[in-house]
């Protein structure tokens, strides 16, 4: 196992299903990986965004989300996405000076127009509003149109969980996934998230795409020149492929479950569920009408939904039962060959521990070079590694 760990980067370890533990032997094995302090990544992202004309507070909102993604091990949605946000502001296709606004609202609901600003700005505004309503009425639900790519969905769910509430977040995305029995990418990865607080800072954090993986993970494999596993994507004929290029260039992502035989129709149904909450309910563009991925000629007009629920409005002792449930699962006897049973949010906590041991977020050298190239292009100070 020690030899294997020396050969794999953090995101590869997460994808293989092997569990990360912050033991000294693991940290010493990763000493050669370049790491960047969390505050330094934050500074770099903010500098890049401000350089192309982003409002300072909007740049901070974006940086908070992207840094959290990498800190938690979701490398597909952190620094890997920065050039996309830079280009959206630089091209003018995403608004740099507007702010979200409320179209209509009730005691428990609100319909928001993101006014085409950065997705994390819309997401923070909408979840903050949902939290306010949940605290006063027990439940808050906000649907937003006119938004953009909002980073990791878990960020918004955790905003609610950190205040003792259940948080949920959904978004539709560019048509990247292929419905069961089809060959054309028609729906988005359409992620959904739930964060629920337990005792002593513990929480359950589910943050998942309704496809087997997000596109960013396939892009990372393509960037590293390695094959993708079964059930990740199909080629232009709708046939399963292990070549990331055929998925990116004319193919599409497979739904959670993979093929129809292995339950992919369930992921297809979940993707439609998210589209109902986001595109249909919010009145945004939906399905195949959403602009194609990385198309900067058309406004994205993504739809998003945010829900906050006060557990005190229901049965007492929510945190007690939540802790009991997650710990019951964690203490199950592992299957042969496994070392422990995890619940959603545990791999991310382990990655945060790894970052603490390293004094920063470990990045693949290709990602470090990506940052160097972007800093040279924008005239921004490069990230300093430890």
Task: Confirm if 89 and 54 have CB atoms less than 8 A apart.
Answer: yes
Strands 302-309 and 252-253: unpaired
Check residue 276 and report its DSSP letter: I
pLDDT tens digits, 51-106: 999 999 999 999 999 999 999 999 989 999 999 999 999 999 999 999 999 999 99
Per-residue pLDDT tens digits for 8-62: 333 333 333 333 344 333 344 455 789 999 999 999 999 999 999 999 999 999 9
Q: What are the extents of the domains in the chain?
A: 2-90+357-378, 102-211+255-318
pTM score of the predicted model = 0.89
What pLDDT digit, counting tens, does each position of 152-210 carry?
Answer: 999 999 999 999 999 999 999 999 999 999 999 999 999 999 999 999 999 999 999 99
Fold of the domain spanning 102-211+255-318: Ribosomal Protein S8; Chain: A, domain 1 (3.30.1370)
- Assigned CATH for 2-90+357-378: 1.10.1530.10
179 within 8 A of 268, measured Cβ to Cβ: yes
Do 102-211+255-318 and 2-90+357-378 fall under one CATH topology? Answer: no
Mean pLDDT of 260-264: 94
- C-alpha 299/C-alpha 106 separation (Å) is 28
């Amino acid at each position: 196992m020690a030899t294997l760990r020396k050969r794999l980067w953090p995101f590869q370890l997460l994808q293989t299903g092997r569990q990360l533990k912050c033991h000294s032997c693991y940290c010493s094995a990763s000493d050669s990986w370049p790491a960047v302090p969390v505050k330094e990544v934050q500074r770099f992202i903010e500098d890049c965004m401000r350089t192309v004309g982003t409002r300072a507070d909007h740049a901070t909102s974006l940086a908070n989300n992207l840094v959290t993604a990498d800190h938690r091990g979701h490398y597909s949605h952190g620094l890997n996405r920065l050039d996309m946000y830079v280009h959206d502001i630089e091209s003018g296709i995403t608004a740099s000076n507007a702010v979200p606004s409320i179209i209509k609202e009730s005691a428990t609901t609100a319909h928001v127009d993101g006014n085409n600003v950065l997705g994390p700005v819309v997401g923070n505004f909408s979840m903050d509003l949902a939290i306010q309503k949940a605290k006063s009425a027990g439940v808050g639900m906000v649907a937003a149109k006119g938004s953009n790519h909002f980073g990791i969905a878990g960020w918004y769910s955790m905003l609610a969980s950190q205040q003792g509430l259940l948080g949920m977040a959904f978004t539709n995305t560019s048509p990247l996934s292929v419905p069961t029995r089809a060959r054309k990418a028609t729906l988005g990865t359409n992620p959904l998230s739930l964060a629920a607080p337990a005792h002593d800072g513990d929480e359950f954090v589910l943050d998942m795409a309704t496809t087997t993986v997000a596109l960013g993970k396939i892009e990372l494999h393509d960037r590293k020149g390695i094959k993708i596993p079964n059930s990740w994507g199909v080629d232009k004929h709708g046939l399963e492929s292990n070549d990331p290029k055929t998925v990116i260039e004319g193919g599409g992502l497979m739904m959670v479950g993979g093929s129809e035989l292995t339950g992919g129709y369930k992921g297809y149904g979940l993707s439609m569920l998210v589209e109902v909450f986001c595109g249909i309910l919010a009145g945004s563009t939906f399905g195949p009408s959403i602009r194609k991925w990385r198309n900067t000629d058309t406004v994205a007009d993504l739809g998003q939904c945010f829900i906050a629920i006060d557990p005190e409005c229901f049965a007492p002792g929510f945190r007690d039962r939540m802790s009991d449930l997650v710990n019951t699962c964690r203490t199950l006897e592992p299957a042969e060959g496994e070392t422990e049973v995890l619940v959603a949010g545990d791999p991310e906590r382990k990655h945060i521990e790894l970052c603490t041991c390293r004094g920063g977020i470990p990045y693949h050298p290709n990602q470090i070079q990506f940052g160097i190239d972007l800093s040279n292009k924008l005239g921004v100070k490069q990230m300093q590694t430890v």
